[in-house]
A and B are shown apart, each in its own frame.
Chain A
């Protein structure tokens, strides 16, 4: 099959790659651009592990052909941290233990990015409904919701970065 030259602007960096039209965006990100942070989970658009931001909006890169993204700006998990400094979402996911196996995490982080960008002050219920687009098999979602709310608070400048080493133990009943 013929290949098409497409240009993707990923995390601010423009790359031109030659791809078969059937090649899924997630595979181009992972194989052609070497960005392995975007994961493959179900390949039919349900689980959300492949979530990236296309023109600022979350999409499923496993049910998007790379040619459909020609010329577009894309953000992936690799673009979140600024060198050694984690993005507040990453930092809060770490502190709140909003991940266990880490596999859904990049997709969840990108979806959370969009949620906070659309609504800087989401309620826990809004975050819960928002992240319901993405499956997590480990956490039961609770600590993810806590992490997103805490990160939103920090991004609004309302909450301080917590103690890095320890968190208080769970409330004893």
Chain B
């Protein structure tokens, strides 16, 4: 697709000045119930007669199931049912799967015939309590015939490797090489090519609340109600209904507040399907709530696990020309979301830099591990890390200043189409960088670093500048294929606003539940901005899927932008009706009315005025005061579609616009490495983010700190470690190390606001940014600290073991 053939962008918006509520750090509407311990999480809910499920999980990474005897378990006290994988395969169809060719790597709620990772479920027990269910698990006798496991993703792609799915014929679930722009020409023109091999190992969201569902199947009506803390069911409800073999209009999925997700509760279908299957089997409400072992080993949401071979072509002055990226991604035993993680990477593959062309080869390897799902960043955080390691290495090898090489390559003209076809809507990368350098006291720390080196101390400063995409398009699900199975293009979000007879406003949200973000606060602030009310007076309701309007749910930092659009649209409808009603009430021409401070008044005659409450009571109760065609009530809905996406080109040399609202950030951690213990400690940490117009600055700051804390985990502590036999060595929090308050430094946070031209108020998404930046920044910092030793870490997490091994290797090679 050429520039000339690109569809025109949407019209540029003008944003309101002097906002009253958007931009204020109000206290969150959601919080009082959580502060009182009345959050109403899935574990807090009890239905009459509810039974409990526990899952028997595989101790083997790869084994054939040759027999299961459940007699003793069935006879155990309090047990109502035991369902094996084979029985489950009769009760349910395969789980919803967006991966390539799902029939060749069929994924079910329980393993049938063979297990493919440690932790995969092989049977379930339904009992009076979780205690009794676990007692009975121990009585299930499973015979396994162990098979050789495949654990390393590159070995998995070798000829003759053991097959995770025989039907696939190999362990490569997807392979393609994309070329965007004139890669060969740009490499030929370049002065130097910097190459590297990088390894990002898997971690995961690990919310403190696990995933769960309560299912209640009414045999009399065939109606199935599922309460779950997983999300995003509304648009894809029919897929879950299909798995359960019931009509979609007999299924209602009701959102529950989630005790954290970080992506890992995104469309987590397995717990809901297990609970529903069991409820139908026993005819009573059933809860399945993962325990921590389930969640660590069987959550279907491990994060990215990539090997990279990268070549970055530059001119000697640091001008970046082109990049070739070759990555193998270890998806584990299944591939439910396909290679969407790489769509996230391609949305911002060149970072904030003018890189003219890109080659991107991705191979998705299947191995005997729990599968990948979503984890804050969804693959873009890995791309940021890869690119910033390359830029950092280039600066070192070319003898260039790490700040200046970045500044030299910054994109400055917006909107800017990157080689993949995605657009960056707006940005001010110099402004963010300048703020960050000041906030971080960059020059001071460079001076300290010199002094420290003289004392034999190893201080490092990690400066990175990187992108923070927001609001995805569904096209990124299928642009991987020339002939995609389901080339969907919808990803709406909806809001209903109701003004009651007293003027009180209730907003109804669809598919968008609470998972630590603040949809209620955001919507309340946006409603308050429109109607000049106090946001704490706005009431919020979450609707279940059955009565839901089209809605895609959270993910890809889309919630605030999409809700803002829906609120704006619903407001416009309400105000149009209210304006017309006021015209009748004041016997004025509606066109002469203006909205001022919570009501309509005649322009130039502010005494001729009706407040929203006055208008609402008339519309609700006084039908005869209005013409026949004026409907009673004051309630309107808006289904808001993505404001700017375009189709990919047929040859996939241009993927279209699929992640257009592009945030940006600069992180500057200062660390010290103890070269005898390999311990990394923080001396300072500054972060400046630009997520467009801020709705609640303190909430965004909270997400930046929290995301950075998770990024610190990814960089230094957290890893799901599988040994050569595919055993999961980190099956508890004694070995899967989540940073405590001691490991997380105090952040200095700066905000920069470059509004988007295409979203309400100029908002961009910002929920994932901290984790998109921190791993890259900390890796750069560690390498900066250890540069005098000739040490460069290329593998995350940078554990003491890896740091010390690198130091020992450098010493031995001298």
Whether the Cβ atoms of A137 and B206 lie closer than 8 Å is yes
Nearest CB of chain B from residue A18's CB, rounded to whole Å: 14
State the B residues within 8 Å of A (CB).
Answer: 23-28, 30-39, 41, 43-44, 131, 205-209, 257-262, 291-292, 435-436, 438-439, 514-518, 534, 536, 686, 688, 694, 697-699, 701-703, 705-710, 732-734, 738, 740-742, 744, 746-752, 770
Q: Which residue on A lies nearest to B742, using beta carbons?
A: A132
State the A residues within 8 Å of B (CB).
Answer: 20, 22-23, 30, 35-44, 46-47, 49, 76-78, 80-81, 86, 90, 93-97, 99-106, 109, 124, 128-129, 131-133, 135-145, 164-173
Which residues of A have CB within 8 Å of B518? 100
Whether the Cβ atoms of A168 and B38 lie closer than 8 Å is no
Which residues of B have CB within 8 Å of A43? 291-292
Which residues of A have CB within 8 Å of B27? 94-95, 97, 164-167
Whether the Cβ atoms of B747 and A97 lie closer than 8 Å is no
Whether the Cβ atoms of B25 and A169 lie closer than 8 Å is yes
Per the bound structure, the CA–CA distance linking A141 and B439 in Å amounts to 20
Per the bound structure, the CA–CA distance linking A19 and B124 in Å amounts to 26
Most B CB atoms within 10 A — which of A23, A40, A49, A95? Answer: A40
Which residues of B have CB within 8 Å of A168? 25
Per the bound structure, the CA–CA distance linking A99 and B28 in Å amounts to 10
Q: Which of B26, B257, B705, B732 contacts A44 (CB 8 A)?
A: B732
Given contacts A97-B699, A106-B37, A172-B750, are A135 and B705 in contact (CB under 8 A)? no
Per the bound structure, the CA–CA distance linking A140 and B744 in Å amounts to 7
Given contacts A86-B35, A95-B27, A169-B23, are A129 and B742 in contact (CB under 8 A)? yes
Nearest CB of chain B from residue A62's CB, rounded to whole Å: 10
Whether the Cβ atoms of B258 and A94 lie closer than 8 Å is no
Other A-B pairs, 18, CB within 8 Å; known A86-B36, A103-B207:
A22-B131, A39-B208, A47-B208, A97-B31, A100-B260, A102-B257, A105-B37, A129-B741, A137-B738, A138-B516, A141-B741, A142-B746, A165-B536, A166-B24, A166-B26, A169-B751, A170-B749, A173-B688
Per the bound structure, the CA–CA distance linking A155 and B44 in Å amounts to 31
Whether the Cβ atoms of B291 and A41 lie closer than 8 Å is no
Which residues of B have CB within 8 Å of A124? 746
Which residues of B have CB within 8 Å of A173? 435-436, 438-439, 686, 688, 748, 750-752
Given contacts A135-B740, A140-B744, are A99 and B34 in contact (CB under 8 A)? yes
Whether the Cβ atoms of B751 and A172 lie closer than 8 Å is yes
Nearest CB of chain B from residue A141's CB, rounded to whole Å: 4
Q: Which residue on B lies nearest to A77, using beta carbons?
A: B37
Q: Which residue on B lies nearest to A146, using beta carbons?
A: B746
Per the bound structure, the CA–CA distance linking A39 and B39 in Å amounts to 10
Whether the Cβ atoms of B25 and A39 lie closer than 8 Å is no
Whether the Cβ atoms of A90 and B208 lie closer than 8 Å is no
Given contacts A103-B260, A141-B709, A169-B698, are A42 and B23 in contact (CB under 8 A)? no
Whether the Cβ atoms of A128 and B36 lie closer than 8 Å is no
Which residues of A have CB within 8 Å of B686? 173
Per the bound structure, the CA–CA distance linking A133 and B740 in Å amounts to 7
Given contacts A142-B747, A165-B534, are A101 and B36 in contact (CB under 8 A)? no
Nearest CB of chain B from residue A13's CB, rounded to whole Å: 15
Q: Which of B33, B292, B536, B741 contacts A132 (CB 8 A)?
A: B741
Per the bound structure, the CA–CA distance linking A102 and B24 in Å amounts to 21
Per the bound structure, the CA–CA distance linking A140 and B262 in Å amounts to 13
Which residues of B have CB within 8 Å of A143? 698, 701-702, 705
Whether the Cβ atoms of B35 and A102 lie closer than 8 Å is yes
Which residues of A have CB within 8 Å of B516? 100-102, 138
Whether the Cβ atoms of A36 and B738 lie closer than 8 Å is no
Nearest CB of chain B from residue A41's CB, rounded to whole Å: 4
Q: Which of B209, B261, B749 contacts A39 (CB 8 A)?
A: B209
Q: Which of A81, A94, A101, A128 contacts B515 (CB 8 A)?
A: A101
